[in-house]
Structure 1
Amino acid sequence: MKFNNILIDDSTSTAIVTINRPSKLNALNSETIQELHEAFKALEEKKSVQVIILTGSGEKAFVAGADISEFADYSEKKGGKLSAKGHAILFDFVENLSKPIIAAVNGFALGGGLELAMACHFRVASHNARMGLPEVSLGVIPGYGGTQRLPQLIGKGRALELIMTAGMVDVERALDYGLVNHVVSQEELIEFCKKMASKISNNSPVAISYAIKAVNAGFKNSNGYDEEIKAFGACFGTEDFKEGTSAFLEKRKASFPGK
């Protein structure tokens, strides 16, 4: 896979996707959003890949926001289409991917950058990370899921404060709020995420995909408990379940076939 704005290392079971626009602080333009969609779709279909780490190039930014120059003159209709397309091909797509995506947040994660990190299944931040949704300072609101995912993660009151003040939070507050799971040094960030990915990879990829689906259902207009029951039952028909239970009873380490 060759792209203009992202780099991919999928040589191991943990793939690393790096947004590579350092001169623009890795800002998301339409081309980058499309490339990320294509990359995640290909990695989801690649059997050898079990976990994906998403990060930004350089030391300053994960993603410093959307590329405002692309849409500054948009009409209402074009603005709505921009948001809808972004949801469909990237932000919702990432959230619902069957393989776990860990956001390795290095530096600024602002606007669309924070929205992308929040769409990932969980987040690890470096000490220099700063996060926020500054859209109202531009006369617009977060349009890539920020008004929905931020309250889910940190609560309505805190989310509204962060959105309405257009402010940033440092990693200590982000950790306290539950916006990130872990904070490490910038030098340790990728290796820490790799270790987390390795722990995930020890488990059934089929069960993990069902767990993602069930958890997501609880935050949508569907009944999460019903989805859990359905997914739980479906696990019993998988080869991973047979291998996992056999390994437990035989007191050995499971070798999941991913089926």
Structure 2
Amino acid sequence: MSTTRQNGSLYTSIQNNIATIEFGHPASNSFPSELLGRLSKELILVGRNEDVSVIILKSEGEKAFCAGASFDELVAISNLEEGKQFFSGFANVINAMRTCGKLIIGSIQGKTVGGGVGLAAACDYVLATENAAIKLSEFTIGIGPFVIEPAVSRKIGVSGTAELTLDATNWKNAYWAKEKGLYAKVFETQKELEEEVELFSEKLASYNPEALTEMKKVLWQGTENWTDLLAERAAISGELVLSDFTKKALKKFVK
């Protein structure tokens, strides 16, 4: 069941110490700013819930996992402040994922572009299907994946990030993503993926919650400067999106 709501949808269900956060949007599960804001708040809220040991992050439907940021909003940016605010959306979500105190399992059922790759990279453990190809196409519209880069490089290294960013028109398949360390396991079908996510999250939730919390801190050591770093990166993207080059490139896509 996919949402038809213009600003998308966000649902959380909590069962057996596992919180499942599911987002959706009619445009291939892309994120308008409002939905990114809601996801950031939800992650922080769930992170504080003592009845939750583990978080599952997933999206609606059987097709794309996430098409990144809302294209319509990107096209509408008219000044630096708007630009910085727009790109801060993913920065805030990644920082919420990093600091929420709970381990996050990503369930990736399909193609993932731009900011969606950043979301996958900010999960602590990712399970995916064969359809979960990834692409960073930001160069094609005159910007770059600056906000998500720290999260992506942390998972797949600088060389993997360079390969993904510079080859901006091509998809990398799920097995490439697994080889690079973005995905832990890849399954043939969505049904197998969902079964494994359930089994794995139940196993994880059965462990000492204090040990899980400490492990979360250990895994994210060295990222304490990301609040400032990602804000700086949002400003870089905000400036680039106003350039003549990007305006012309976006016009082509809008046509």
TM interval, short-chain normalised: 0.7 to 0.9
Aligned with 1:83 (options 74, 84, 87) = 87
Compute the displacement of 1:118 (Å): 1.0
Structure scoring higher RCO (CA < 8 A, sep ≥ 6) equals 2
- 2:211 corresponds in structure 1 to 207
Q: Which moves more between the two structures, 73-82 or 110-119? A: 73-82
- 2:154 corresponds in structure 1 to 152
- Counterpart contact for 2:8–2:31, Cα < 8 Å: no
- 2:76 corresponds in structure 1 to 73
Q: CA 1:94–1:207 in 2, change beyond 3 Å: closer, same or farther?
A: same
Matches within 5 A, 1:87-166: 87-88=91-92, 90-145=93-148, 147-166=149-168
- 1:193 aligns to 2:197 (yes or no): yes
- Counterpart contact for 1:130–1:168, Cα < 8 Å: yes
Report how many residues are paired. 217
- 1:10 corresponds in structure 2 to 14
Stretches of structure 2 lacking an aligned partner (at least 5 in a row): 1-6, 227-255
Structure ID, larger Rg: 1
Aligned with 2:43 (options 32, 40, 45) = 40
Q: CA 1:29–1:68 in 2, change beyond 3 Å: closer, same or farther?
A: same
- TM-score, normalised to structure 2, is 0.78
Q: CA 1:4–1:135 in 2, change beyond 3 Å: closer, same or farther?
A: closer
- TM-score, normalised to structure 1, is 0.77
How far apart, in 2, do the equivalents of 1:4 and 1:154 lie?
30
How far apart, in 2, do the equivalents of 1:84 and 1:44 lie?
20
Query: Percent identity of the aligned residues?
Result: 26
How far apart, in 2, do the equivalents of 1:221 and 1:36 lie?
21
Which amino acid counterpart does residue 165 of structure 1 have in structure 2? D
- Counterpart contact for 1:56–1:62, Cα < 8 Å: yes
- Counterpart contact for 1:14–1:194, Cα < 8 Å: no
- Counterpart contact for 2:17–2:54, Cα < 8 Å: yes
